[in-house]
Structure 1
Amino acid sequence: MFTGIIEALGEVVALEPRNGDLRLRVRTGSLDLADVQLGDSIATNGVCLTAVELPGDGFWADVSRETLDNTTLTGWAVGQPVNLEKALTPQTRLGGHIVSGHVDGIGEVVGRHRDARSERFRLRAPAELARYIAHKGSITVDGTSLTVNKVEGAEFELNIVPHTLQWTIMESYRPGTRVNLEVDLIARYLERLLLGDKAADPDAGGITLEFLTQHGYNRA
């Protein structure tokens, strides 16, 4: 588990195809690896990766087909910067929100403009994730815990302060940039709980207005 508070910027230094999947090497820059052991998790642009080698200045990780199919990792290149965060401990301050490092889908930056000293970003999420994105709710973008400032359909806006621009990869975002999205974990579990026994039915689908009305949640 993670908090979504980025600890350092790293750099992709190797991408090695391995029998249909990939082995990745990341140089971790200022990230303190003194307490990192083999098998520990490091969130890399929001993707929870397991350290399988620790050469001293970073780590190697194996990347499965599942991860390649559901994240931006297939488009990564040697030399590109990445957001890094070590897994939280019981002593970690939860400054962001609870982040699993399991990417839900790929979003796209569709707009950016200055707002005083901040930058406003507009992103488009996959349609199936839109129901989990709420005004003033939390969302993880490339591993960064952020607050949603506005929602319109599958698009949402973020207000990014100068500190976040400086210490994450968001300064490089432009319209067309693809990003890893992880929606609020609580929203996902709440949906399953509301489905009750129907959660075991593969044809049940998700929560709809009709479902809420039938079960007494909508009295309009």
Structure 2
Amino acid sequence: MFTGIIESLGTVTNLEKDQNNLHISVKSNITDELKIDQSVAHNGVCLTVVAIDNKEYTVTAIKETLDKTNLNTLKVDDTINLERAMKLGDRLDGHIVQGHVDQTGICTNIENEDGSWVFTFEYDASLNNMTIEKGSITINGTSLTVISSKKNRFSVAIIPYTYEHTNFKTFKKGTKVNLEFDVLGKYVARLMELR
């Protein structure tokens, strides 16, 4: 479980295909605190640390993960959001995040609001995910509040701190992002569907 509060940024240092898998090596300032078998969210995707070498560590993404996330678009030197799993008893500053990406979305607009930014994203509504205004959404692992919600589109406001300490500062129109919709909302939607 995660909170969606990005702990650190990482830099992709190597990408190695191995059949249908992708081994992703990352350089980060939290590497020396990691251990093998530990879960770390990478752009919101929970992956297991399989190797550590000085300031770099490696995780493996399988075909299922690559098909459903933006990890298949990674390039060496890309910046990714990182968060270690939360500790029992810690504050939950964001919201409950599983590290299981529901689908990807595309950044369609970025508005500079004179001190903050409004980012708009579109997603495939046929997958039955949804947002609500003032509800939670996770974008590339970052816990955010929806400020505008339509059937297949939503917007979030980004403050300067979030902009500087996440990979939002690298987004452009057309950037593909990982979306994890609010887990409580997903359960409510599923219960309504079964009625």
TM-score (norm 2): 0.95
**CA drift at 1:130:** 5.9
- State the match for 1:114 in structure 2: 112
Paired residue type of 1:54: I
Report whether the alignment pairs 1:70 with 2:75. no
Answer with 87-96 or 100-109: which moved more: 87-96
Paired residue type of 1:183: F
**CA drift at 1:66:** 0.3
Q: Distance in 1 between matches of 2:189 and 2:120?
A: 26
In structure 1, the gaps of 5 or more residues are 199-214, 216-220
- State the match for 1:134 in structure 2: 132
Relative contact order: is structure 1 or structure 2 higher (C-alpha 8 Å, sep ≥ 6)?
Answer: 2
- State the match for 1:20 in structure 2: 20
- State the match for 1:58 in structure 2: 56
Structure 2 counterpart of 1:154, from 152, 155, 164: 152
Paired residues of 2:129 and 2:186 also in contact (CA < 8 A): no
Q: Distance in 2 between matches of 1:54 and 1:14?
A: 13
Write out per-residue CA displacement over residues 39-97 of structure 1, whole angstroms, 9 at most, x where no aligned residue.
Answer: 11000111111001121313111110000100011110001110000000113221000
- State the match for 1:40 in structure 2: 38
Report whether the alignment pairs 1:124 with 2:140. no
- Cα RMSD of the aligned pairs, angstroms, is 1.5
Write out per-residue CA displacement over residues 87-146 of structure 1, whole angstroms, 9 at most, x where no aligned residue.
Answer: 001132210000011110010000011113100111102213565211100000000000
In structure 2, the gaps of 5 or more residues are none
Paired residues of 2:31 and 2:57 also in contact (CA < 8 A): no
Paired residues of 2:27 and 2:56 also in contact (CA < 8 A): yes
Report whether the alignment pairs 1:95 with 2:72. no
Write out per-residue CA displacement over residues 186-206 of structure 1, whole angstroms, 9 at most, x where no aligned residue.
Answer: 1112233344xx4xxxxxxxx
Q: Distance in 2 between matches of 1:127 and 1:102?
A: 18
**CA drift at 1:31:** 2.2
Paired residues of 2:14 and 2:25 also in contact (CA < 8 A): yes
Answer with 133-142 or 16-25: which moved more: 16-25
TM-score (norm 1): 0.84
Paired residues of 1:130 and 1:154 also in contact (CA < 8 A): no
SS at match of 1:5: coil
Greater share of residues in strand: 2
Q: Distance in 2 between matches of 1:63 and 1:155?
A: 28
- State the structure with more CA Rg: 1
Moved over 4 A (4+): none
Report whether the alignment pairs 1:104 with 2:95. no
Q: Distance in 2 between matches of 1:129 and 1:175?
A: 22
Q: Distance in 2 between matches of 1:193 and 1:147?
A: 23
